[in-house]
Amino acid sequence: MNVTPLALHSTRAVRDALRAHGWDGGTAATAADGASAAAFHMTGLDDASLEALVHFGGRLGLEVLTGPGWALVSGSRSRLSAFARPWTVPEPLREAAMLVGLALPPEPPRAWRTAAGDIPLDRPVIIGILNVTPDSFSDGGAHAGVDAAIVHAERLLAEGAAVLDLGGESTRPGRDRLVPEEEELARVVPVLEALVRRFPGVIVSIDTMKAGVARAALGAGAAVVNDVTAFRHDPAMARVVAGSAAGAILMHSRGPALEIASTERAEYGADPVGTVLDELRQSLHGAAAAGIGAERIVLDPGLGFSKTAEQSLQALDQLAAFASLGRPLLVGPSRKRFLGAATGRDVPERDTATAAACALAWDRGARLFRVHDVAAARDALLLAHALGGSAPAA
């Protein structure tokens, strides 16, 4: 007899063991997903619900920890799925069972629809940052102007970027004015037109919170709108995106545009991740109500925006919680303050930490990665992807 422990931080070990015994890949992957662990924090429970949860959850093989009005429930996804059937649980647990069912992540989306076609999500998608602003916190002025922007775009694409994110207004901390729409248009439209001519078929995302800029950029060839306020800043933005075929990136942030990169609105109570999740859900519902199809939406938890360094680290660590919203997840950790807080590095020295954050985010469910240094992130993500059981890209 031989007994070998299986590491359960990912599903690969279980999947590989089953395949070694002759299971086909699809069946092995499904079984491995069912064996993976998940946990839920429940609050607002009355005494009858707590008592029923301890007894019924125990019979299902779930671990249940409780206190006054709260419980932590954990176990395999298959056991939690068995719990998430309101018609089978005791009456005091029906609401809890329904909410667990809603919070269990659905099948991950296989692609993201944009105006330039679908982007497959079976491997990491790197979005290269192309700032044409004079005051970006990281590379202000370095790529302003058409010629400099084209040179940098060529480098980003050569290093492995699948999308270029073109921005004409910095969201750096401490800025004291919004860029007028005419000025932002003058920065981004000539560059966008040159990109489309120079790189036919390139997928360009326009990073803007202004509906007028988004409209002009989509007309000039952009395929995605990346709004760091998730349509909060300009109510017309949702209509512009809905009236196009563009993909949309909705990022979590709080407060007026000049405050989103600060910690002015970073009060989230005892459950920061849960609060961000609820607010992203509201943004998703708002986009759907405007007529934007779910297949066109990517969600970004907004690392470094309206969050302390610790809150950003929590959001990065608990990315899998956002998968319950059923949309692809994008992270933008590149050179952010929370990386500096963790490493002690200044902004120009944070690319190694950025690459590490991307690899950790892939393992936690992110599929799109917005970065300045594409080459470093690409290598880290190829390794993370290979550890997940897939062959690296050639």
List, by residue number, the catalytic residues.
336, 370
CA dist 391 to 122, 214, 222, 261, Å? 11, 37, 31, 38
CA–CA dist 296, 61 (Å, integer): 38
The shares of helix, strand and coil residues in the chain, as percent rounded to the nearest 5, are 45, 15, 40
Q: Are 260 and 199 in contact (CB under 8 A)?
A: no
CB-side neighbour CA atoms (13 Å) of 288 = 12
What backbone phi and psi angles, to 5 degrees, belong to 129?
-80, 125
CB-side neighbour CA atoms (13 Å) of 109 = 24
CA–CA dist 126, 313 (Å, integer): 21
218: left (phi over 0), alpha (psi -120 to 50) or beta: alpha
Residue type, 324: S
CA–CA dist 299, 321 (Å, integer): 12
CA–CA dist 326, 293 (Å, integer): 13
Helical (H) or strand (E) element with 83:
helix 77-83
CA–CA dist 32, 172 (Å, integer): 43
Parallel, antiparallel, or unpaired: how do β-strands 37-43 and 63-67 relate? unpaired
CA–CA dist 293, 205 (Å, integer): 18
DSSP 62: -
Q: Which long-range contacts (CB under 8 A, 24 or more apart) does 236-240 make?
A: 236/211, 237/209, 237/210, 237/211, 238/286, 238/287, 238/290, 238/292, 239/211, 239/290, 240/211, 240/214, 240/215
CA–CA dist 249, 360 (Å, integer): 21
